[in-house]
A and B are shown apart, each in its own frame.
Chain A
Amino acid sequence: MGKEAVAKKIADIFDLPRDLIANTFRLTLVGRGQLFIENHKGIILYDPELIRLNVRGGEIKIAGSQLQVRSVYAHEVYIEGAIENISLEVRP
């Protein structure tokens, strides 16, 4: 059993949020103008129309217009703009 699977099991047993145990990413979308992403692994592409973020096990693509990284911390990114599409691309 892998490390991630163990963490997932513990989170299920104790009814805990998975992002706390498994260090997985969490997205909070406020309307279509604000997006908070926690536990990211860095920015791959920063463009006003598309932002690509590296996360554990894949990549998040945020498409829209006038997208801007308002602030960035080691584990947290706050994006503002007219968000049109959010997609998750899972890495094999």
Chain B
Amino acid sequence: MKGGRILGSAGSVRARVEGIHAEELINQAALAGIRVWDIERVERAVVFSTDEKGLKQLRRLEREKGLVLKIIRERVLMVWLRRVRRRKFWLAGFFCFCFALYYLSGFIWAIEVQGTEKIDREELLDYVSDYGLHRWGKVRRLELNAIEQNLYLKFPDIAWVAIERSGTKVSIRLAEKQSNPMQRGAVIDIVAAYDGIIFEMMVLKGIAQVKPGMTVAKGDVLIAGYRDGEQVVNAAGAVKGKVFVEAYGEAAVEETAQRYTGDQRQVDILELWGKKIPLSRRPKYQHYEAEESSTAIFRNLIVLRRLTYSEVSLETNHFSPEEAEELARYRALVAAHAQLDPDAVIIKKEVENLSQHSPFICRVFITAETDIGSEMVQFRGD
């Protein structure tokens, strides 16, 4: 009962009746099936709430029994409904709009394909169009599961495919099969990962291409794998070498660092035939970074652009010349160590200041002993 009252109150009216006892009104309302609630006695009048239908019936009672009915307050929905009834063309337009919206939502407006590398996107779209999955195709007739199954059969390179519909947009997401090069006659070589001089070498399998004492460049084959008829012999072994790494670091006495504040806003821009219509306001950030993504709805004539603004704050760090020099040295060392294997044994480390004034520039030159061989799949003839 209470729920009904709440729903009814969305389009309710508060009225006052004079010339009738409260009891009589309640009984008349109950007999006539008029919904009345929140009934109050105010001096010689009765104040109550009713709905639109109840109001009509009460108007009839007003004429029959000579009551005085006054409306105290009307809810928005009630006023709106009355206004709408007077505006026939507006109502017709509204229904036309609803119908157009429903009708147009039954078509595919955009098709998105994700994950194609080897598979030709156009060929895939051409194939699915035979099943009704094409732009302006009827969305309600699509049998997405059947299309997925047929895609597996047509394109054997597909490992996984999913077709999803969200509104008028259809997304085809797929993952292609990873080809195993070893199945196609490839062998594994051990190649140099750094420039350096070889000082120790142990070959377990394969053919050694270099000797200790030789200088090699990054990418040179150190131990080669080979194919013996049907049998593939992959290179195996360890090659140690002396490598030379160089890195630079820079620091100034005054540096500006950028930091994200965490505040982020999205601004949508509708582009109609090249004319940009912003749908929301641009945030008033002093400093920001913007990222743009766009969706073309109708042959690039209607484009929805979304700009994501991330607020950044700029912080200026001040260093003394000694601190800046130390920072440049530290940065150079970090950059040099990043180039080396963590197990590398450092033999020599040279640090050189290239600049005596801000910005300070440091060069680090490291000589280290490390395993320079790394496995690499190579294709070659028999």
Contact = CB atoms under 8 A, between A and B. Distances in A.
Interface string A43-79: 1111110000000000000000000111111111010
Contacts of B365: none
A22 to B, nearest CB: 21
Given A46-B39, A46-B41, A47-B41, A71 B23 contact: no
A72 B41 contact: no
A68 B39 contact: yes
B22 A46 contact: yes
B61 to A, nearest CB: 15
Interface residues of B, number: 19
A44 B23 contact: yes
B35 A71 contact: yes
Contact of B26 (A36, A46, A47, A75): A46
B33 A74 contact: yes
The main secondary structure of chain A at its interface with chain B is strand
A70 B71 CA distance: 19
Interface string B8-24: 00000000000001110
A44 B29 CA distance: 14
A69 B22 CA distance: 10
Contact of A71 (B27, B31, B36): B36
A51 B379 CA distance: 99
B40 interface: yes
B30 A74 contact: yes
A42 B1 CA distance: 18
Contacts of A68: 38-40
B5 interface: yes
A27 to B, nearest CB: 15
B330 interface: no
Contact of A72 (B2, B36, B40): B36
Given A74-B30, A78-B1, A69 B39 contact: yes
Given A74-B33, A76-B1, A42 B38 contact: no
A6 B243 CA distance: 111
B46 to A, nearest CB: 9
A46 B1 contact: no
Interface string B33-57: 1011111110000000000000000
Interface in A10-36: 36
B37 A42 contact: no
Given A46-B39, A46-B41, A47-B41, A72 B26 contact: yes
Interface-central residue, A36, A68, A69, by most chain B CB under 10 Å: A69
Interface string B201-238: 00000000000000000000000000000000000000
B30 A42 contact: yes
Nearest to A42: B27
Contacts of B41: 46-48
A57 B2 CA distance: 29
B35 A43 contact: no
B22 A72 contact: no
Contacts of A78: 1-2
A42 to B, nearest CB: 4
Interface-central residue, B1, B21, B29, B31, by most chain A CB under 10 Å: B1
Contacts of A45: 23
B370 to A, nearest CB: 83
Given A43-B27, A44-B23, A72 B1 contact: no
Nearest to B37: A71
Contact of B23 (A36, A43, A70): A43
Contacts of B36: 71-72
Contacts of B37: 70-72
A81 B323 CA distance: 79
Contacts of A73: 1, 30, 33, 35
4 A-B pairs with least C-beta separation: A71-B37, A46-B22, A42-B27, A69-B39
Interface of B: 1-2, 5, 21-23, 26-27, 29-31, 33, 35-41
11 contacts: A42-B23, A42-B26, A42-B27, A43-B23, A47-B41, A70-B38, A70-B39, A71-B5, A73-B1, A74-B31, A74-B33
Given A72-B26, A72-B29, A78-B2, 11 more contacts: A44-B23, A46-B23, A46-B39, A48-B41, A68-B40, A70-B39, A72-B30, A72-B37, A73-B30, A74-B33, A75-B30
